Structure 1
């Protein structure tokens, strides 16, 4: 099993156990760049942690998150997730998303999320 596969599986386990921010703190690089679809990216660990905190604080009902597929390559991982939750601003969200991660120094340096509306 590759090191990246082990890390992404552990990260996913943390997310599934309600420890997404712990996973973020452990597995994301200080210079991480995160981007939703083609929107303007957010740069830096501190700015992205604040974005993550705001996202989780806005979840009013969480029903499920399921990793469907995991693919790894050279310093790259991709996870297809299915999410089902209610967000205070966006309402009911039930969708599939692909998260593409680039790794550097054993941590995620770039992550982009692809999903439909």
Structure 2
């Protein structure tokens, strides 16, 4: 079960843009990550590589401080807002809920839930 302090440290790493490092420092080696109903990605090294590829496609990723964070035993839910600016200067927004299952002080399983009809709507044209 994670402490609230540990969860807050994870959130700060993500808000400060250290997405791949957050995976390295807060996920178990055999962790999984799942987008909506897609098959989960498996293994911390694979998760880090996927995140780096995603970030490399962007000019900038702004992670807003979460609106809501719930910690209940090993379950953590975070309401995130991300603004991604691509290499053409187009900024899109994603609002999602992350449901994490922690083991000790690390994330074992994470699932992202969002409305795919409104995901990544354009905020600003480049």
Q: Who is 2:38 aligned against?
A: 39
Q: Secondary structure of 2:59's match?
A: strand
Q: TM-score, normalised by structure 1?
A: 0.86
The answer (yes or no) to whether the contact 1:4–1:75 under 8 Å persists in 2 is no
Q: Who is 1:30 aligned against?
A: 29
Q: Secondary structure of 2:55's match?
A: helix
More strand by share: 1
Q: Quote the Cα distance in structure 2 between the aligned partners of 1:20 and 1:63.
A: 11
Q: Secondary structure of 1:53's match?
A: helix
Q: Secondary structure of 1:66's match?
A: coil
Q: Secondary structure of 1:94's match?
A: strand
How does 1:57-72 map onto structure 2 within 5 Å? 57-72=56-71
TM superposition shift of 1:71:
0.1
Q: Who is 2:6 aligned against?
A: 7
Q: Which consecutive residues of structure 2, in runs of 5 or more, have no partner in the other structure? A: 120-126
TM superposition shift of 1:48:
1.0
Q: Which consecutive residues of structure 1, in runs of 5 or more, have no partner in the other structure? A: none
Q: TM-score, normalised by structure 2?
A: 0.80
Aligned Cα root-mean-square deviation (Å): 2.0
- Note the alpha carbon deviations across 1:39-64, whole angstroms, 9 max, x for none: 01111111111111111111223344
Q: Who is 1:21 aligned against?
A: 20
The answer (yes or no) to whether the contact 2:55–2:61 under 8 Å persists in 1 is no
Answering whether residue 99 of structure 2 is matched by residue 100 of structure 1, we say yes
Q: Secondary structure of 2:65's match?
A: strand
Count of matched residue positions in the alignment of Structure 1 and Structure 2: 115
TM superposition shift of 1:18:
2.3
User: Are the structure 2 counterparts of residues 63 and 13 from structure 1 closer, same or farther at C-alpha, using a change threshold of 3 Å?
Assistant: closer
Q: Quote the Cα distance in structure 1 between the aligned partners of 2:56 and 2:113.
A: 22
